[in-house]
Chains A and B, each alone.
Chain A
């Protein structure tokens, strides 16, 4: 799974990013102080439960947080664009689509129901002052053909004439057709059946490598991440609690939340009862604690310090975790020996139908 980063693939540096939502009870944080680097030419996966702030993070990369939300602090530096948070008006509009491609969740209807795909493609071309509209159509047909569809027929279709998997490929086409090299996919395979899901993930991977992209995949499905992502960020309560190379994070999870997530996956072989659900509920906007660790209420390794102190950033190998317990363990032994619960192999096992076989997890 080695990726050769091409020159065109931009790097992205998210630092100190916070987004708040205005509510009747004041401004509540959806994500707070996120630091995340997207390495040029890699696929980064962001996983987390509903409400953990994944989609807010994804929209922030396009400075497109929807009202009543707003980016309250931090920056999103994208190579070739600068700080996206500072972009406004026409500059921002032109960056969207041309520099950053965004692919919507498959279940969502991201096409105008009254216009054919082709006409919407022309709208896209005109919006970005594409002089050679014929060339654009040719490019779109190539991309669609590349994804196993009849380009001419798809361009002549309305949204309702396409299946979920086809719509998703059309969405990917729209994200790439202007030659954007940073692509954000928000839940790209949610609501698709397993076969279509595997196809879409294969396409994402292939197109990513062919075109030399920097890709961010938002998902709640660890299997998806295991299949496509080079690097992984785990979100909880509006923070990235653990990040690092996918194999490292899934193979030897450090943060108790990541461990809990992996333990909760039912195995394809063995008893369903072996899967342990994480007790408790994720925090909502209003219940995110202001001080201390956001995960402490559900944490098995909870300590007194978790109540009051913000968890430290602990670097271990190539990955980073925000956790007092991880830090304590590292201090004690000079290395993290919190036993990883549920290694990568089992995640792969759970994803049997999507056919991951090139990744190998390491069991302790």
Chain B
């Protein structure tokens, strides 16, 4: 049962990845401005012979595309089968996977930390806002959630950046670590990493906190109105136990949102990385697009797609663990 479910998910996921890869391959190639062609033209203009110019370009990038668009597509896909994402154009001579991995470490950890932090705080506050929804504190919490949910990430990032460079300049606002520390596993460097990551993580957490508190609040309010909660109270079930009934039922739908937003990890937080000059995937993708780095763009899209597909599968399988109604499969509901 479980294995069949997993196999089905994987098959669908692979098809999804194939489709996205194909579409993005052709879309990317149709973007005007081929960097190799541009460099080649430039060299020819500078008086180099076409053959020499071609060779120079090949030397510079370490490879040369051969054949037409279809041939390139077939080459690209067969490369993918060997997990070869191709060569980056922006960083000549380096594989796309290397570039992706070096950027990913600056995105995954901070965004993961920010998501989990905002999830925890948002869920707890959401429960509180729901239970105290007719009181002042509940109002304040709900309004803070709506406000933060409505403010765009880049505005939050700019605000925090401004505050921490001018009013209270206690946190670094640019880069990943102080250059005076030797990168490696030493206390000074790690401390510096944390210090530099604080603002991006905080921004990310604040930006997503509003969504969590609002979602949890409405979920708790819904469950509070469910018959089984009143039934439990009429049976004289202790408050603490009823509270657990409420929260466990209310948090279920949020796990789906959490899993899906973790899938977006690799999409990077473009604005936040840009403003805090944090060299993550988002920033790298922007650079790649500006430089018409086809392979890098394709690789980044592939990574994002794969992450979302995996997150979907994880969310679904996780549900079978936490929700008995899904577990038994052919349930009545």
Contact = CB atoms under 8 A, between A and B. Distances in A.
Is the A/B pair a real complex? yes
Interface of A: 62, 64, 66, 93-98, 102, 104, 108-116, 123-124, 126-128, 158-161, 171, 174-175
B236 A94 contact: yes
22 contacts: A62-B234, A64-B233, A93-B238, A97-B236, A97-B237, A98-B236, A102-B231, A104-B234, A109-B228, A112-B232, A112-B245, A112-B249, A114-B252, A115-B245, A116-B324, A123-B237, A124-B235, A126-B238, A127-B235, A159-B228, A161-B332, A171-B231
Given A113-B228, A113-B324, A127 B241 contact: yes
Contacts of A96: 233-236
A61 to B, nearest CB: 10
B232 A64 contact: no
Interface string B290-333: 00000000000000000000000000000000111100100111
A159 B248 CA distance: 16
Interface residues of B, number: 26
A216 B323 CA distance: 36
Interface string B208-233: 00000000000000000011101111
Contact of B228 (A66, A110, A124, A128): A110
A110 B227 contact: yes
Given A126-B241, A160-B331, A66 B325 contact: no
A128 B325 CA distance: 28
Contact of A112 (B228, B238, B323, B332): B228
B241 A160 contact: no
A111 to B, nearest CB: 6
Nearest to B230: A66
A228 B226 CA distance: 29
B324 A160 contact: yes
Contacts of B333: 160
Contacts of B235: 96-97, 102, 124, 127, 174-175
Given A109-B226, A160-B331, A114 B236 contact: no
A124 B237 contact: yes
A-B interface, 10 closest residue pairs, ranked by CB to CB distance from nearest: A97-B236, A110-B231, A96-B236, A108-B227, A102-B234, A127-B238, A97-B235, A158-B324, A127-B237, A160-B331
A252 to B, nearest CB: 36
Q: Which of B235, B328, B332 has the most CB of A within 10 A?
A: B235
A114 B234 contact: no
A203 B12 CA distance: 51
Contacts of B239: 93
Contacts of B227: 104, 108-110
Contacts of B233: 64, 93, 96
A160 B331 CA distance: 7
A124 B232 CA distance: 8
Given A93-B236, A97-B236, A161-B328, A114 B248 contact: yes
Contacts of B226: 109
Contacts of A115: 245
Contacts of A127: 235-238, 241
A114 B238 contact: no
Nearest to A128: B236
Contacts of B248: 114
Nearest to A64: B234
Contacts of A97: 234-237
A257 to B, nearest CB: 30
Given A97-B234, A112-B245, A116-B324, 14 more contacts: A93-B238, A97-B237, A111-B231, A114-B249, A114-B252, A123-B237, A124-B236, A127-B235, A158-B325, A158-B328, A160-B332, A160-B333, A161-B331, A171-B231
A111 B241 CA distance: 13
Contacts of A102: 231, 234-235
Contacts of B323: 114
A66 B249 CA distance: 21
Contacts of B331: 160-161
Interface string B260-277: 000000000000000000
Contacts of A66: 230
A95 B228 CA distance: 19
A128 B248 CA distance: 22
A246 to B, nearest CB: 26
Contact of A123 (B230, B241, B252): B241
B185 to A, nearest CB: 43
A159 B227 CA distance: 13
Nearest to B231: A110
Nearest to B331: A160
Nearest to A162: B332
Contacts of B328: 158, 160-161
Q: Which of A96, A109, A127 has the most CB of B within 10 A?
A: A127
A122 to B, nearest CB: 10
A226 B282 CA distance: 73
Contacts of B324: 113-114, 116, 158, 160
Contacts of A110: 227-228, 231
Contacts of A64: 230, 233-234
B243 to A, nearest CB: 12
A158 B333 CA distance: 12
Contacts of B228: 109-113, 159
A168 to B, nearest CB: 12
